[in-house]
Amino acid sequence: MLEQLMSERYPVWESLIPPSQYGQPDKHAVAAIGSRVRFVDGTWSLCATSGLWNANLGYGNKAIADAVALSLTEASYMTLFRGGHNLAVEAATTLLGVCGPQHFGRVLFSTSGGAANDATMKLVRHYQALRGDERRWIVVGLKGSYHGLTYGSFALTGEPLGQQLYGIDHRLVRHVDHRDETELEALLRREGHRVAAVVVEPVLGSGAHPVRERFINALDRLRAEHGFLLVADEVATGFGRTGSYFASQTWPTRPDVLITSKGLTNGTCAAAAVVVSHQVCDVFENADSVLVHGETQAGTPSSCAAILATIGEMASLDACTRAAENSALLDSILHRLSAHPLVLGHRGAGCFRALNLGAHSVAVAAAARRAGLLLQLGPDCVQLIPALTYTSDDFDELETLLMVALDQAAS
């Protein structure tokens, strides 16, 4: 009986699709190398998603794989619970080096963007309590944002994805429009004394909407006036995705907290990091206060080895320069594709773009998949998130396959 059940029921709970679509051969990957993915039917597809925005340096980077393998033989597991280990210290120090050690002072390791957002919501509330504001519990996010699907991050996510079904608690979360500061200013006039932090994705994750410059420019003034912490959620935009190492490095003001994941290990390990300013560190140190947070797999030797190797490869491949060059190539491609009757426009930054197709998005993504191109669907768009290591030939193929998909969807 057990064998029969196992043979009849697909064993994996696949994410964000109904059970009727589990185990489809055309979506079952078996290998990935460079910028291509092979499926169980033997076909290869050009990847324009960098996995889930995380394989910024392409699939199968040998230096990262070798570093992880070595760590697993020398120290398969060590914990950060009530202690530490050398690889975690080295990884945190190196990460602070690329974030900006003059501003940031400490790294809290986590295991995913969602879990890191959960930890950050705890951290900012604890920080405010240590400063004497024990009821500063409100965390403000942006409408249309994506911060994850864990319980806390799902509340902070500003895109409606069925939160009500799961009883997600929104009582201490608010959302404002990112296009200008008007809604944020009005919220702060009403509840600024209760706001612990404002969390901003430089480019909103699902729709690839860059946050308006006017909004970013207002944050420092509003932070000084109302006393909230500014958090940059760079899970998607970090590690060269928009051209600079982190998108917030181009802001006129630095965030108090920076969250990174995805590109942090080039997608090889379940890892994230909450990078905290010296100012925040000082408050916790002066009180000698314990942040009650910990994750079994956070900061493991293998994930720390992957972080170190990824940062090394970012430098050796000059990935940020390549991202800027590839952004210019994407500009040209998107300009040409904009002449197609199905295309309503495009948006994004660097190598994080979206082709606005409205109601035709699903049809275009399906046609692209049949043609051998992997795209990520957004609310009204298909996203173009190529690896920073894409070649000119890859971009030529990307444009050709996109045009095939657009023509097929239009016919």
Minimal CA–CA distance to 198: which of 171, 179, 170, 226?
226
Tally the residues of the chain.
411
In this predicted structure, the answer to whether residue 15 has a pLDDT above a threshold of 60 is yes
Q: Considering only 126-135, 203-212, 236-245, which range has the smallest mean pLDDT?
A: 203-212
Q: What percent of the chain has pLDDT over 90?
A: 94
Would you put residue 46 in left (φ > 0), alpha (ψ -120 to 50) or beta? Answer: beta
Q: What is the pLDDT of residues 329-356, one digit of tens each?
A: 999 999 999 999 999 999 999 999 999 9
Q: Which two tokens stand for residue 18?
A: 């109904």
Q: Which residues contact 235 (CB under 8 A, 6 or more apart)?
A: 53, 113, 116, 117, 147, 148, 201, 205, 259, 260, 261, 262, 272
| Topology of the domain covering 2-57+318-410 | Aspartate Aminotransferase, domain 1 (3.90.1150)
Q: So where are the chain's domains?
A: 2-57+318-410, 63-316
Element (H, E) at 108: strand 104-110
pLDDT band for 3, please (50, 70, 90 cuts).
low
For residue 379, which phi and psi values (nearest 5 degrees)? Answer: -60, -40
Q: Which two tokens stand for residue 51?
A: 């996995």
Are 155 and 122 within 8 A, CB to CB? no
Cα distance between residue 60 and residue 33, in whole Å: 5
Cα distance between residue 234 and residue 116, in whole Å: 11
In this predicted structure, the answer to whether residue 236 has a pLDDT above a threshold of 80 is yes
With respect to CATH, is domain 63-316 assigned 3.30.450.20? no
The DSSP-derived string for 31-79 is EEEBTEEEETTS-EEEESSHHHHT-TT-BT-HHHHHHHHHHHHH-S---
pLDDT band for 2, please (50, 70, 90 cuts).
very low
Residue type, 18: P
Q: What is the pLDDT of residues 28-81, one digit of tens each?
A: 999 999 999 999 989 999 999 999 999 999 999 999 999 999 999 999 999 999
